[in-house]
Amino acid sequence: MGPLADTLPFPFGDEIKGIAEAADIPLGEIVLFNVFYELFTVCTSVVAEDKTGKLFHARNLDFGLFLGWNATTHAWKVTEQLRPLVVNLDFQRNNATVFKSVNYAGYMGILTGIRPKAFTLTMNERFNIDGGFIGILEWLLGKRDGMWMGFLTRQVLENATSYEEAKNKLAQTKLLAPAYFILGGNKSEEGCVITRSRVASLDIWEISLKQGRWYVLETNYDHWKDPLFLDDRRTPAMKCMNRTTQANISFGTIYDVLSTKPVLNKLTTYTTLMDVSEGKLETYLRDCPNPCMPW
């Protein structure tokens, strides 16, 4: 996997090489660590608007399914290894914050981030037969006209200055893997789920107060289809949101929603809460006490 670093867009390939050298870890392992999220993550993201027009964005990041089960601790091995690597980062230019993110140390892309006063962004995996394996294979064979998801989200957080600019970039850029981009802005009704194939935007599902939709919530299935019956985190999460009501939405109540099993499960590494108007990002390492669903 090491030679793949030479093919990655600037500055990501160079950063990956620097991490490998500084940490004295084989380059191939760092490359694999950075591309694996194109293939399989299981997550829950929500953007909600309160009665005053304030927007909240939150997510659970679930990772490690089928990557080894620890029979002693009753937990996924990779999930356990990732929790200590969770870090909050502050990306600055000229000593001023441009955006903040939650990362696994050593991962150069962005899965969860906030550009204060402008927008918030999370990325969820979209399971599809034309998935990340196909995109990575094409990249290895020399067809490199698509963008790595985690690298795209970082570029958007770094360069886009508004919700609309971010939405257009996320909807229009060709990708290596299908995805859901969950985007929140800083004005009333600026919240959406962008459902992506590798080459096009299939749907943009937005907050609409006129239609009574004061939040949008995404797991890993198209919102117009039923989720897989073995992995229905959407239904309990939406039930909790509806019971909470728009009048009572806050960091605390959204955290409670994301703490409801099976939304919280054995794959959950962290929960993040974001308030764009205040530029606030909070991250909590999570552990799901037994009895708990494995996913």
* Active site residue ranges: 43
* Tokens matching residue 223: 């919102």
What's the start-to-end Cα distance of the chain, in Å? 29
The Cβ of residue 194 has, within 10 Å, a number of other Cβ atoms equal to 23
Q: How many CA atoms lie within 13 A of 25 on its CB side?
A: 15
Residues 6+ apart with CB under 8 A from 105: 85, 86, 87
Q: What are phi and psi of 185, to 5 degrees?
A: -110, -155
Distance in angstroms (rounded) separating the CA atoms of residues 229 and 206: 25
Distance in angstroms (rounded) separating the CA atoms of residues 237 and 186: 24
Q: Are the beta carbons of 139 and 92 closer than 8 angstroms?
A: no
Distance in angstroms (rounded) separating the CA atoms of residues 161 and 150: 18
Helix (H, G, I), strand (E, B) or coil at 285: strand
